[in-house]
Structure 1
Amino acid sequence: MGQIFRWLLRIAAGLVALVVLAIGLVYFLASQSLPDYSQTRKVAGLTAPVEIIRDNANVPHIFGQDDPDVFFGLGYAHAQDRLWQMTTMRRTVQGRLSEVFGTRTTRFDRLMRRLDLYRLAQQSLEAQDAYTRAALDAYAAGVNARLTEINDEALGRGAPEMFLFNAPVAPWQPADSVALLKLMAVQLSGHLEEEVLRARTALMLDDNERLRDILPDAPGTGIAALPEYAQMFPDLPRYAQATAMPDDPLSPFPRHGLAGASNAWAAAPSRSASGGTLLANDPHLGFSAPSTWYLARIELRDGGVIGATIPGIPAVLSGRSRRLGWGVTSSYLDDQDVFIEKVNPQNPDEYLTPDGYKSFETRPSIIQIKDAAPITLTLRWTENGPVLPGSHYNLGTVTPPGHVAALGWTVLTGQDTTMTAAMGLMRAATVQKAIAAGETYIAPSQNLILIDRETIAFKTVGAAPRRDPRQQSEGRLPVQGWRTENRWQGRQPYASNPEFVSPRGGILGNTNNKILERPFPNHISYVWGDTQRINRWQRLMQARQVHTRDSFIEAQLDTVSFTARSLLPLIGADLWFTGQAAPDGTPERQRQIALSLLAEWNGEMNEHLPEPLIYAAWLRALQKRLIEDELGPLAEEYKHVDPVFIERVYRDIDGAAIWCDVRQSAPRETCTDMARLALDDALVWIGEKYGTALESLRWGDAHQATHDHPVLGEVPLLRYFVNIRQSTSGGDNTLQRGRTSGEDPDPFLNVHGAGYRGVYDLADPDSSVFIISTGQSGHFLSRHFDDLAQLWRRGEYIPMSLDADLARAASVGVTHLVPE
């Protein structure tokens, strides 16, 4: 018996030793790809030495004798820290993810191939100006210098992920950077989905007037009634089963309600305590680890530029120089239309045009799939754009038999000069020159908030389609592609894009709100990203005569919900302080406790409070009760509460209170009934998930920021090393925006928000500050993988200085690149 025990002990010890040895080997191999920031290296492609100083937050400060060499250094630094992220994004836009990830990503590749963005990016190279082309060439050479270094010195394949997903890495090409700008357009655009959802909802509703309730216009002047979608396409069923795009972190296609967003605002010298101009910007994207954003400073001949870059793109997209500051927000310009094309019943290779039937433009495309047979697609284009199958974006639910859907989109051009605009913006010295540089910007459309020493300005950049005033749906529903009045007629002139320079009030800004009211077709959009945050922003801006850098930071981090303050008195008007005291443990008692808490709440979505969770769960349950009988299964696609819809119902605007009555039941339910029932639903859900002690709830337990690794984030054990989860304040409608997922079982996870924050003060530029949500490195073994994450969570920032001596004094390394 003793001998058996000794042998078992030896076997156990041997297994432990093997596990330790295996972990040690994995760590050794993975750590080989950690970059050395303190080195001198000879590289090909440089004309003169380049110096990369990494300050104590690992922000590279890049110096060279001419601009192409500086862009070479930026490409090298991006590849040191974010090589896996860059190559994955490139595969995404090329439609080549399945070569690495197998059938998991085949659907994404199919759609990307049909959009053909990479081929259009290659064509767009010829459209760039000479400066931009030189910058793209030099940047690509810098990335490739790092790839050569990895290959020559066996540096762990460049990133730990390369061991698990072994695939060759092709040299970086200038077209790759142009393509990544087009990929941004995919991630920031939502009008296609809005058109499809509006059409599907219109088919479900008995009363077409109710469409303006559930999909309301932003407050302001209304528009003429739209045609009923069923009249345009009478062969469509009322409801067709949808096929949702897989909810995969590798998907570049945002779910409904999670397209681009952002905040930006500026103050003129007359409204600034320092006597200079101020600007704050926080672009909103889906969270990931590492962040989409990467901080960098480049020293160009025109001066230093510092701010937020995206690895793979050689430009500071939000930042400042000594003379100019710029921020961006999603403009929501309507740059997409769905065209329903009629296929020739006698010849499926033809479609109907205003001049009769015409052949589709076709081209084969082969998708290679890891561990599976390749797929050959036939890409088809019409005069209106690429044909997308009914399985994508649920287009099949709104496409009648004998028809196909094509997409019109401004990004689908081989003459895309957006990169040239970005380069011009970085070198502009004044607001007017920056506005002029924006003329070559195509997509994704953005609002630029600009400051120079004396002036503040707002300009929408991006190509706007020129539509016929007779267009059937005013760009809001899929339309018949063979009708002349539905087709685009080129682009609107750049001068017609909204522009505000030096407003009298001295303050301007944007929270994705409605910018202005223009009659169709000169409108900007009927769909806007915000109707709520703008109200809180206006109050904070007007509460002070003058602003400071710190007051702008305070506004960026504000977590008070205007929505909660405005809606709770409406939906709870007949519930507060009514009825007799109820015994402990009863649903009535829980309801009274919840109402008592909410009655004393100021609307602050603080992570440590219970009220935000009760409020959010109540509103979610309420919207579900209001719409599920009218919309049936389609109600599941309305994953986020629309405050304007709730307000219309509870103010009974244009008879919207009809939504409170459940059509299938005999009694006539009132809106008070719905509010009470929804609160009970919410409390039951909270009790099952978080417990029944309402006073002990924490909003932050439900509202965790999910900076998850797109590939390794679901791997057991490893997920605890690569994912960054944080309890956070804010919510869907606060200035410190933390957009919730809307997906069960954790609908309030914080999945979309300000991955970058920056505040710029041109009276004292080096007092400007910025931060990103994770860390600079994409290598999970690096101390810079998550070293900025807790600062970001606490609302702290790091200095945004162009002082080279300051960067050098606390540097984590200095790299010298010298010509070979």
Structure 2
Amino acid sequence: MYRLFTWLVRIVSTLLACAVLAAFGIWYFATRSLPDYDATYQMEGLSAPVEIVRTTEDVPHIFGKTDADVYFALGLAHAQDRLWQMTLARRTVQGRLSEVFGAKTLKTDELMRRLDLYGAAQASVAAQDPATTSALEAYARGVNAWIEEVNRAALGRGAPEFFLFEAEIAYWTPADSIALLKLLAVQNATQIDTEVLRAQLSMLGQGWAADLMPAVPGPGTIALPRYAALFPGLDPAQLQTAADVEAPLSPFASRDFGAASNAFAAAPARSAAGGSLLANDPHAAFSAPSQWYLARLELSTGGVIGATIPGIPAILTGRSDQLGWGITAAFADDEDLFVEELDPKTPERTAAPRVGEFTTRKVIVTVKDAAPITLTLRWTENGPVLPSDHFDLGKITPPGHVISLGWSALSTADTSMSAALKIMQSKTVPEAVAAGEGFLAPALNLTLADATSVGLVTLGALPLRDPANATEGRMPQPGWVMANRWHGRLPYDSNPRLLDPEGGIVVNTNNKLIDRPFPLHVSHDWGDSQRVARLTRLMGEREVHSRESFIAVQTDTVSPAARGLLPLVGADLWFTGTPAPEGTPERFRQRALELLAAWDGDMNEHLPEPLIYAAWMREFQDRLIRDELGPELAAKFIHIEPLFLEKVLRNVDGAARWCDVLQSAPSESCTDIARVSLDAALLELKEKYGPQIESWRWGDAHEARHDHAVLGRNPLLGWLMNIRQSTSGGDFTLNRGLTAGSGPDPFANVHGAGYRGVYDFADPDSSVFIIATGQSGHPFSSHYDDLADLWRRGEYVPMSLDPALARAAAAGITRLEPLGASE
């Protein structure tokens, strides 16, 4: 027995020792890729020495003799901190994920190959101006210099992820950076999803589409034909009924999760200190690390500082000493779906009356641990043909037809990168507006402020459509009808713009910008109808603003949707009936209503009221639409639609008919549905969070999830890589925290401001910014999540262009020297 015990001890000790050695080995090799910020490197491709001064937050301040050297150093800094993120993004837009991840990402690769955005980026290199070409080439040299240093010095393959996924790191090229800007357009794009959903609702009739997807209030609403009426003989029963195949790592977001943002500015007359103010917070899906990377560049035209996207050599939102610029998603209608009829005798061409051969090309997709796949890419005169098992296209494509896509981002002469660099180096609002003419995609609203003025202009190529277009671009349309096709681009000077408004205030929350009839409409589907009301009120409450008031507005967590909907949905429930006995469902409901009646709509993480409200409205909307639409279509509306709910509760145009359950004999009122849905919501919350309603916390449900795109779902690695935080805010607050909407944790915070910046031109160096995670993409770096708590609390770090301040707070200085400089 003693010998058995001894051997067991020896075996367990050996296993523990092996585990410790394995853990140490993993740690050692993983930490080899942590960059030394105090090192000196000799590198080919530089004309003179460069310094990268890292602040305590790991923000690189780059000083070089020439602009090309500065862009070289930015490329190197991006690669030092975010090499895995950059290469993953490049593989995504190239349609080459399956080479690393196998068959599970094949659907994503297929779609990206059919769009051929990377091919369009390669062709667009020749369209750039000389200064941009120089910047792109220098940036690529900097990235490649770091890749070479990683290989030369065995620096852990550049990032820990490369140990888990065997893949060679190809050298960076100028086309890669242009492709990543096109990838940003993909991440902003929601029109495909919106058009398909509107067509599906249209086929149901009953005006469901007009109610559930209403036009933002204001003139210009049109009556659409039913989708089936556009294709005589279409029988909805013939359409594909199978669900789409999931596409992991797809960059395309559904219409609920497209890019959003806030930007607002005040002219000197509305500023307490007499200088213009500008605030910007672009919204996107959370990730670890953040999409954004802070940097400062000292160029020949002066210093610029703000947020970059690793892989792109431009400050996309930030400031110089004379100009501030911020971006918001414009929600411009720059995508259209075209239904193309096939020739039944020759499927490789379209049918009469517009007979035309497809442009075709075969490509091979390499798949890890599987045979390669050959795809035949097809293009019509309107654009690339899309696969029917994406975006639910098969459910709206008539038999014998395919659907193609027209989209501004598909341009092969895309000068958006040149425009971005020109904007970054502009000195005044008018100069930046003029520089934006070459920006094609993504469509963005550019909010601007200089020392004396503020303004806003919409960037992006807006299609020139025929006034006789069958659907005005709101649903797929017959592609063989010339009136439905695009006829070029609207002139840039027709894009919405507002310079030096009389009131001195500019605001944008992806809201409706302009009210013009089709085809000058810009969009029928805007990104916000709620936040703009709160922003307008807060900006109007003060005659003058300061940096502090702008910060308060940017981090505001009051929901205008809650304030507007609760008095309507609870109108016949507040304080009605006699007090119910303790412990009964009726008493539980009364307590919830008492809390909501005293609540001011603040989606504070420490309160139970936001959780009760969110669960109630979610349950209420689902009960309204599920019997009319069926479970499949109802599941597409995973977030509440405030305009729809208000229309129903006010019975606008008879919309209260949604409250009657079609399958039941009685006629239910909206009060009946409101009561039943509140009880159901409370029961679900009680089971999950316990019986003490006062102890419920919105932050427990509204946890911000900054997850690693690839490893975040692994229980062990996810614990290391993911960043989770209790947060305030909600779907419709200025400090936006868009909820997941479905799944086991529907109120998890998954989409919001990855970057916040406030620029004060009365004292430019008092400007501030923050990103949601940290600068480094390395989980063992102290800078992986060191900014996350500041971000959660609504705090910021300084945004100074003073070299002395950067050096005084330097956590490290990397020196780059031309190869052979010391010889």
Q: What TM-score do the two structures reach when normalised by structure 2? A: 0.98
The alpha carbon displacement at 1:692 in A equals 2.3
Pick aligned residue for 2:366 from 362, 365, 368: 368
Q: Which residue of the partner structure matches residue 555 of structure 2?
A: 557
Would you say 1:425 and 2:402 are equivalent positions? no
SS in 2 for 1:347: coil
Give the aligned partner of residue 583 of structure 1. Answer: 581
Aligned length: 816
**Partner SS for 2:215:** coil
Q: Shift of the alpha carbon at 1:353?
A: 6.3
| Cα-to-partner distance string for 1:296-339 (whole Å, 9 max, x where unaligned) | 00000000000000000000000000010000000111000000
Structure 1: 5+ residue runs without aligned partners? none
1:335–1:464: 8 Å Cα contact kept in structure 2?
A: yes
Residue of structure 1 in register with 2:88 after alignment: 88
Could you tell me which residue of structure 2 aligns to residue 772 of structure 1?
A: 771
**CA shift for structure 1 position 237:** 1.2
Q: Pairwise mapping of residues 242-641 of structure 1 onto structure 2 (< 5 A)?
A: 243-244=243-244, 246=246, 248=248, 250-352=249-351, 356-632=354-630, 633-641=632-640
Deviation at 1:393, TM superposition (A): 0.9
685-694 vs 42-51, which moves further: 685-694
Write out aligned runs for 1:670-685 (5 A): 670-685=669-684
Residues 210, 392 of structure 1: alpha-carbon distance in 2 compared, 3 angstrom cutoff: closer
Q: CA deviation at 1:166?
A: 1.3
Distance in 1 of aligned mates of 2:242 and 2:731: 26
- Do 1:756 and 1:773's aligned partners in 2 also have CA atoms closer than 8 Å? yes
The Cα of 1:224 is off from its aligned counterpart by 2.4
Say whether the 8 Å CA contact 2:220–2:517 is kept in structure 1. Answer: no
Letter in 2 for 1:59: V
What CA distance in whole angstroms lies between the structure 2 residues aligned with 1:452 and 1:581? Answer: 60
Q: Distance in 1 between matches of 2:640 and 2:412?
A: 39
- State how far apart, in whole Å, the 2-side matches of 1:244 and 1:656 are: 31
Q: Which runs of 5+ in 2 are unaligned?
A: none
Contact persistence 1:353–1:481 (CA under 8 A):
no
- The equivalent of 1:48 in structure 2 is 48
- State the distance in 1 between where 2:642 and 2:132 align: 44
Q: Quick one: distance in 1 between partners of 2:90 and 2:318?
A: 24
Write out per-residue CA displacement over residues 58-110 of structure 1, whole angstroms, 9 at most, x where no aligned residue.
00000111101100000000000000000000000000000001112111000
Which amino acid in the other structure matches residue 398 of structure 2?
P
Residue 802 (1) aligns with residue 801 (2):
yes
How far off its partner does 1:251 sit? 2.2
Alignment of 1:737-752 (within 5 A): 737-752=736-751
Counterpart AA for 2:648: V
Helix, strand or coil for the counterpart of 2:487?
coil
Alpha-carbon RMSD: 1.0
Aligned with 2:326: secondary structure? strand
CA distance in 1, matches of 2:245, 2:528: 25
SS in 1 for 2:716: coil
Which residue matches 2:690?
691
Equivalent residue, structure 2, for 1:9: 9
SS in 1 for 2:463: coil
Identity of aligned residues (%): 61
2-side partners of 1:707 and 1:242: how far apart? 32
Kept after mapping to 1: 8 A contact 2:106/2:247 = no
- Distance in 1 between the 2:807 and 2:473 partners? 53
Q: State the Cα distance separating 1:24 from its structure 2 match.
A: 0.3
Query: Quick one: distance in 1 between partners of 2:352 and 2:685?
Result: 55
Matched residue, 2:166: 166
1:7 Cα deviation from its structure 2 partner: 1.1
Instruction: Indicate the larger mover: 476-485 or 800-809.
Output: 800-809
Verify the 8 A CA contact 1:536 1:562 in the aligned structure 2: yes
2:190 matches 1:214: no
1:711 aligns with 2:710: yes
How much does 1:219 deviate? Answer: 1.2
In the TM superposition, what is the alpha-carbon distance from 1:240 to its structure 2 partner? 5.0
Equivalent-residue separation in structure 1 for 2:208 and 2:786 (angstroms): 50
Shift of residue 222 of structure 1?
4.1
Partner of 1:791: 790
Match for residue 148 of structure 1?
148
**Partner of 1:69 in structure 2?**
69
Q: Structure 2: which amino acid aligns with 1:94? A: Q
Partner of 2:30: 30
When residues 511 and 242 of structure 1 are mapped into structure 2, their CA distance, relative to the original with a 3 A threshold, is: farther
SS at 2:287 equivalent: coil
Cα distance in 2 for partners of 1:105, 1:474 equals 34
Measured in 1, the distance between the counterparts of 2:121 and 2:289 equals: 25
Aligned to 1:702: 701
Q: Distance in 2 between matches of 1:819 and 1:236?
A: 69
Q: Tell me which amino acid in the other structure corresponds to 1:752.
A: H
The DSSP-based 3-state class of the residue aligned with 2:646 is helix
CA distance in 1, matches of 2:347, 2:772: 50
Offset of 1:583 from its aligned partner?
2.2
1:509 Cα deviation (Å)? 1.1
1:256 and 1:390 map into 2 onto residues whose CA distance is 18
Quick one: distance in 2 between partners of 1:422 and 1:32?
A: 35
